[in-house]
């Protein structure tokens, strides 16, 4: 699970929603839905503070709170693994757009890693 210090607070989430820019990976080969990916993101670059994140799972994706929490926890677990190697100053919200095929954690980790790879500055 991602530590509380690395998660966005509600006021920060509102700021990212208002001022951030959307980020999506290209469609997966053979995808049937628009975008073809399980995740999209909204990012706001900051001057300091490191990378802080939030995960949003709408009720339209998973009807039960149990499934929404399972998806959110899997995404936060993947973020915790990927956070250690990142050095960008940004606030980022990940939106789960569809339920990835099981197992959840590796599928979400791959998509989160792809999004972070596109938005983080290249390290020398």
Do residues 38 and 97 make contact, with C-beta atoms less than 8 angstroms apart? yes
Residue with the two structure tokens 């709408």: 58
CB 92 within 8 A of CB 119: yes
Q: What is the rounded CA–CA span in Å between residue 51 and residue 43?
A: 10
What pTM was computed for the model? 0.85
If phi over 0 gives left and psi between -120 and 50 gives alpha, with beta otherwise, what is residue 80? Answer: alpha
Domains and CATH numbers, the chain: 4-26+36-112 (3.30.230.10)
Q: What is the pLDDT along the chain (124 residues), one digit of tens a residue?
A: 788 888 899 999 999 999 999 988 776 665 555 455 788 999 999 888 788 999 999 999 999 999 999 999 999 998 888 876 666 788 999 999 998 888 888 888 888 888 888 887 655 3
Contact 54, 7 (CB under 8 A): yes
């Amino acid at each position: 699970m991602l530590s509380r210090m690395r998660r966005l607070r509600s006021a920060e989430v509102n700021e990212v929603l208002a001022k951030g820019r959307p980020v999506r990976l290209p469609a997966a080969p053979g995808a049937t839905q628009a975008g073809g990916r399980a995740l999209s993101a909204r990012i706001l670059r900051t001057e300091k503070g490191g990378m802080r994140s939030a995960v949003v799972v709408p009720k339209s994706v998973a009807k039960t709170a149990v499934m929404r929490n399972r998806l959110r926890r899997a995404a936060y677990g993947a973020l915790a693994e990927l956070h250690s190697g990142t050095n960008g100053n940004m606030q980022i919200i990940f939106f789960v757009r569809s339920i990835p095929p099981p197992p959840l954690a590796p599928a979400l980790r791959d998509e989160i890693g792809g999004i972070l790879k596109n938005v983080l500055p290249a390290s020398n």
